Amino acid sequence: MKGAARTFFILALCYAVAGMVLGIVMAASHDHGEMPAHAHIMVAGWLMSSVFAFFYHLFPEIGAKPLARAHFWVQAVSGIVLVVSLFFLLRGNDGLEPVTALASVGFLLGTLMFVWNALPVLRTA
């Protein structure tokens, strides 16, 4: 793996470990209050980053474009801010709600960048 594929897969692995650790902590403590954060880490983080990685791996010419690198940074920064702020928001830090909302919009923007990157493949399929 190279380029955007590699960086997205490294990010996906980090999300997978973080999500599993949080899941084990919740199970051990019998406190599942952070279940929404756990779900976001596993689905928005691990799963989506893996899909992005494998797409860019299958289509390296698209993964080598500057927009793929921009997609990575928008998705990575907004995703990390999203799950961290959501975790603390769920623990009662209501002041983080605007941060979580802004990060969610950033995550959507990153996903729209991916859609734009994927469209040429869909047109030729």
Q: Which of 124, 73, 83 is nearest to 103 (CA)?
A: 83
pLDDT in tens, 78-109: 999 999 999 999 999 999 999 999 999 999 99
Is the separation of the CB atoms in 117 and 62 below 8 Å?
A: yes
pLDDT in tens, 38-60: 999 999 999 999 999 999 999 99
pLDDT band per the 50, 70, 90 thresholds, residue 125: low
Rounded to an integer, the average pLDDT of 65-90 is 96
DSSP letter for each residue of 34-68: THHHHHHIIIIIIIHHHHHHHHHHH-HHHHTSHHH
Q: Which of 52, 29, 77 is nearest to 21 (CA)?
A: 29
Q: Residue 33 has what pLDDT?
A: 87
